Amino acid sequence: MPLLLSLLTFLSTFIGGLLAIRFKEKLAIIIGFSAGAVIGVVFFDLLPEAFSLGSKQYGIQTISLIIVSGFLFYMLLDRLSVLHTHQHENIRKGRIGAGSLSIHSYLDGVAIGVAFQVSPSMGILIAVAVITHDFADGVNTVSVILKEGGNNKMAYRWLIADALAPILGVVSTLFFKIPNGFFSILLSIFSGFFLYIGASDLLPESRSKHPGFLVTILTILGVLLLYVATTIAQV
């Protein structure tokens, strides 16, 4: 069952990425939606799970510090890349963003596998949330690459990597178990990463290239999509 559901995550991610590539001429609008989706992933998926798994062991203040550290670390990477104006430096930045999203997708797969270790019902609930928001992950991965000057070929490669990542995550849980505390730390770090990507990178980029109100509406829709996905998973 977990492996079957992981195949659905692959399809969800890949379809989202294909649409982003197909309509890349409207990239600014897609990035606006992507910004909302990334922010929604943080507030409705990563943060609640990080606090739930780690607050008793580490405390809320420690988890918050890890989140801020992730945010600041990604900010430093971003600032260092801005110091160089060559296109290959921008592409490196895009790869870092896409790589972070792919690792997050791998952790999504791990979450599905770990949830099934607890109970089949919990595994199905987590899988529904992952399948739903992996569509946005595909859009986000392609958007990050194309925004930083990458071509379609590079976008496809990262899209495939991101789509395969949840499958690999599920498979890995067949061989080991991740302690909740360590999983919480990873989720906290990526919460900081994605807060920066969404709020400090994607959102300003979409607004500067397409200042119309449509981008704002799509950003809100991106947030709402992730809210609906996580809410459905909890029903």
In tens, the pLDDT along 126-139 reads 677 677 667 777 88
Domain ranges of the chain: 2-234
Counting Cβ atoms within 10 Å, is residue 172 exposed (0-12), middle (13-18) or buried (19+)? middle
**Amino acid, single-letter form, for residue 235:** V
Return d(Cα 57, Cα 180) in angstroms, integer: 9
**Amino acid, single-letter form, for residue 38:** V
Per-residue pLDDT at 46 exceeds 70: yes
- In this predicted structure, what is the pLDDT of residue 161? 92
Least confident of 13-22, 121-130, 186-195: 121-130
Per-residue pLDDT at 63 exceeds 80: yes
CB atoms within 10 A of CB 38: 32
In tens, the pLDDT along 76-110 reads 866 765 444 444 556 677 787 788 788 878 888 88
Helix, strand or coil, per DSSP, at residue 86: coil
Per-residue pLDDT at 164 exceeds 90: yes
Greater model confidence, 54 or 210: 54
Q: Contacts from 14-17 at CB under 8 Å and sequence distance 24+?
A: 14/138, 14/159, 14/160, 14/163, 15/135, 15/138, 16/134, 16/135, 16/136, 16/137, 16/138, 16/139, 16/142, 17/138, 17/139, 17/141, 17/142, 17/155, 17/156, 17/159, 17/162, 17/163
Global model pTM greater than 0.85: no
Instruction: Give the Å distances, CA to CA, from 170 to 29, 111, 193.
Output: 33, 8, 23
State the Cα torsion 164-218-75-129 to the nearest 10°. Answer: -40
In tens, the pLDDT along 180-223 reads 777 788 888 888 888 887 888 778 877 776 677 888 898 899 88
Which tokens sit at 195? 């807060």
In tens, the pLDDT along 24-34 reads 777 677 778 87
Residue 167's pLDDT band (cuts 50, 70, 90)? very high
- In this predicted structure, what is the pLDDT of residue 82? 47
Helix, strand or coil, per DSSP, at residue 117: helix
119: left (phi over 0), alpha (psi -120 to 50) or beta: beta
